[in-house]
């Protein structure tokens, strides 16, 4: 490699201006962008000082220019470049963006699924059967809208589905703790401490959180995709209000730090608590009157959107991405089936659940300082949800999930006469 003069900001590539990783204890570094290799001791690349550089020997420059003490790039900027460099976009073919989730959820059933296992799971959910391309379930459903939201997809897929039998949990909370008896139960959300089999939530079609603006629940993901995409086009990145935004009830204390920061520095954040069904006094909204609810489309005006978990995974997350705003996703414990497709620093900014108001202020300052990188993350997040979380992808996930699950059954499905047939409305 030929010698060249080197006189640029420390930590940035002299060839392309891209960021360089921090120097390890030994070895050199490779530019994330142009892949140029730089040696730490001058034996691969010899750095020659120039007239405008500080007066120092070649040896001093080569020794310290990329040292951990001398290097200056923000750690978050390094995380972005590393994440983007390692990211491989997925394909929509046969819902392959989510295939690993199905494989991982079913991998624990190494010896298959017996009739007894399904029977033991029945008191934790609703029993469903598909027999001769007809759908059956328990007579009672504790959450009718949730059952209807699931059944929309099952009914549409009946001509393609094999005879099968499964137990679906319509509650928010998963049922199969990792160190408890292994049971095959479908749940919409879980953490790593549970072994439930994830399915697409009912709210892709019906149900979901019911608030004043959406009294029957959020529902109809296809319609929200249209309305949010339309609203996002009115608020391109350059027009968005350069402020963080959040509206929601106080279901978790994790949200308090952002709300407090909003009260201290409203020019940075607009975060307020709304009422929920459990609201009794201003103590439930952190000592302030509850704010009015806002539509999902209203969020698109803002450049930075915060997402927090609710009782389990948040139903709002997928909607926020479609605004083309930068999503700050707080916590990584709770999952829905599509979460693994989303990568931190590639599609969203990861935020620890225990973050303080001071740390939030610093994080928002970082976002302001590196606006171009933030816009790129927002764009990638919007595109991955728009392209790989369509209703067709949800339908595909259900089909592949049930086909793969059914191959694990160690018994022949026989129609249960105690179940009722579910027909389309």
Residues annotated as catalytic (active site), given as ranges: 172
Q: What does residue 68 show for φ and ψ, rounded to 5 degrees? A: -60, -30
Helix (H), strand (E) counts: the chain: 11, 15
Q: Identify the CA nearest to 415 among candidates 45, 131, 193, 154.
A: 131
- In sequence order, which residues have a C-beta less than 8 Å from that of residue 119 and are 6 or more positions away? none
Q: Name the maximum alpha-carbon separation found in the chain.
A: 89
Tokens of 39: 């040696």
Q: At what angle do helices 391-406 and 144-157 cross, to 10 degrees?
A: 80
CA 125/CA 187 separation, integer angstroms:
9
- Quick check: helix, strand or coil at residue 320? helix
- DSSP state for residue 19 in the 8-state scheme: B
- In sequence order, which residues have a C-beta less than 8 Å from that of residue 281 and are 6 or more positions away? none
CA 39/CA 62 separation, integer angstroms:
8
**Residue 333 burial (CB count, 10 A):** 12
- DSSP state for residue 187 in the 8-state scheme: E
In Å, how far are 1, 30, 40, 46 from 43, measured between CA atoms?
10, 15, 8, 7
């Amino acid at each position: 490699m030929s010698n060249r003069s080197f006189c640029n900001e420390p930590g940035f590539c002299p060839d392309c201006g891209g960021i360089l990783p921090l120097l390890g204890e030994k070895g050199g570094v490779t530019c994330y962008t142009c892949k140029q290799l730089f040696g730490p001791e001058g034996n691969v690349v010899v750095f020659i000082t120039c007239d405008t550089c500080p007066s120092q020997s070649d040896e001093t420059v080569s020794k310290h220019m990329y040292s951990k003490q001398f290097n200056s790039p923000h750690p978050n900027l390094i995380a972005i470049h590393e994440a983007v460099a390692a990211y491989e976009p997925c394909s929509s073919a046969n819902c392959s963006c989510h295939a690993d989730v199905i494989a991982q959820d079913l991998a624990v059933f190494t010896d298959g699924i017996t009739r007894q296992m399904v029977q033991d799971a029945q008191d934790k959910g609703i029993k469903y059967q598909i027999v001769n391309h007809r759908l059956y379930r328990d007579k009672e459903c504790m959450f009718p809208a949730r059952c209807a939201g699931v059944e929309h997809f099952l009914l549409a897929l009946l001509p393609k589905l094999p005879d099968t039998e499964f137990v679906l949990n319509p509650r928010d909370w998963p049922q199969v703790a990792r160190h408890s008896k292994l049971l095959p139960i479908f749940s919409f959300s879980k953490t790593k401490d549970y072994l439930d089999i994830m399915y697409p939530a009912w709210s892709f079609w019906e149900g979901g959180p019911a608030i004043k603006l959406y009294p029957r629940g959020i529902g109809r993901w296809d319609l929200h995709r249209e309305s949010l995409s339309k609203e996002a086009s009115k608020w391109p990145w350059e027009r968005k209000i350069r402020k963080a935004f959040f509206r929601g009830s106080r279901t978790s204390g994790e949200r308090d730090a952002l709300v407090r920061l909003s009260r201290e520095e409203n020019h940075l954040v607009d975060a307020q608590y709304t009422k929920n069904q459990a609201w009794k006094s201003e103590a439930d909204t952190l000592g302030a009157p509850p704010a009015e609810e806002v539509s999902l489309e209203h969020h698109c005006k803002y450049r930075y959107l915060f997402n927090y978990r609710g009782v389990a995974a948040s139903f709002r997350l997928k909607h926020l991405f479609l605004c083309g705003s930068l999503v700050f996703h707080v916590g990584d414990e709770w999952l829905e089936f599509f979460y693994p497709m989303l990568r931190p620093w590639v599609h969203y900014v990861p935020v620890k659940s225990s973050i303080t108001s001071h740390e939030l202020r610093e994080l928002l300052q970082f976002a302001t300082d590196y606006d171009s990188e933030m816009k790129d993350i927002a764009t990638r997040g919007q595109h991955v949800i728009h392209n790989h979380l369509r209703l067709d992808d949800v339908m595909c996930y259900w089909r592949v999930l049930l086909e793969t699950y059914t191959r694990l059954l160690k018994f022949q499905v026989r129609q249960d006469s105690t179940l009722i047939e579910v027909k389309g409305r």
